[in-house]
Amino acid sequence: MTRGRRASGTRSPLRMLVDTAGFLALLAMVLFGLYAGGLLRPETGEFTAVDGDSLRKGGQDYRLHAIDAPELHQTCSDRNGASYACGREARSALRRLLVRGLVTCQPIETDRYGRIVAICRAGDTDINAELVRLGWAVAYRRHGSDYVDQEARARAAGRGIWQGHFEMPEDWRSSHRGAFQRGDLTASGSDVPDD
């Protein structure tokens, strides 16, 4: 190899710096375009609870980021083994949070079903975190580890669904997907897949 020439496939530090700067500039333009296009702008106003982890404002559905709540028709067992409608309880918990203050949802992305995935707040309360802390949702690890600590505390305290036994919402959806497709289970929007 002659002096001053690099081996095939290696790049100089200057070239790597230029490539990195170009990538960052492109990323900034894409993010600005998303923001300017309204995709990343926070939405504030009156939201309604569809189920334990989904909201609706106008005709737009929102999915709470990185949490998973029992489906509306899902049942769980309490500490005494008695069955209760944990999906409806999760939706009730979300409804109670929505009246704590002005609700603002910060979009993160749009999922394949057209829902805006967001972190939502009611006043100073992070709704996503609070649902997990209260035990009415689990940290949805497939979509992030944001709420793992809140889940551990809810589990240790036996709050919400952690008071007894339950099937993880994702597993429940998987085992009941056929019922949704046949129309046996319909629940004001809860038949929309949560993945």
Best-predicted range by mean pLDDT (21-25, 33-37, 129-133): 129-133
Residue 36: is its pLDDT beyond 50?
no
Instruction: Name the band, by pLDDT with cuts 50, 70 and 90, for residue 40.
Output: confident
- Lowest mean per-residue pLDDT among 9-23, 44-58, 70-84, 107-121: 9-23
Instruction: Name the band, by pLDDT with cuts 50, 70 and 90, for residue 191.
Output: very low
Residue 68 half-sphere exposure, CB side, CA atoms within 13 Å? 21
Do 64 and 129 form a contact (C-beta atoms < 8 A)? no
Say how far residue 8 (Cα) sits from the centre of its chain.
45
Residue 3: is its pLDDT beyond 90?
no
Residue 171: is its pLDDT beyond 80?
yes
Sole residue written with tokens 């939405």: 43
User: pLDDT at position 160, please?
Assistant: 99
User: pLDDT at position 187, please?
Assistant: 42
Which residue type, as a one-letter code, is found at position 50? V
Residue 167: is its pLDDT beyond 50?
yes
- Dihedral angle, C-alpha 187, 190, 193, 195, nearest 10 °: -160
Q: Which residue has the higher pLDDT, 57 or 19?
A: 57
Q: For domain 43-173, give the fold.
A: OB fold (Dihydrolipoamide Acetyltransferase, E2P) (2.40.50)
User: pLDDT at position 9, please?
Assistant: 63
Report domain extents, the chain: 43-173
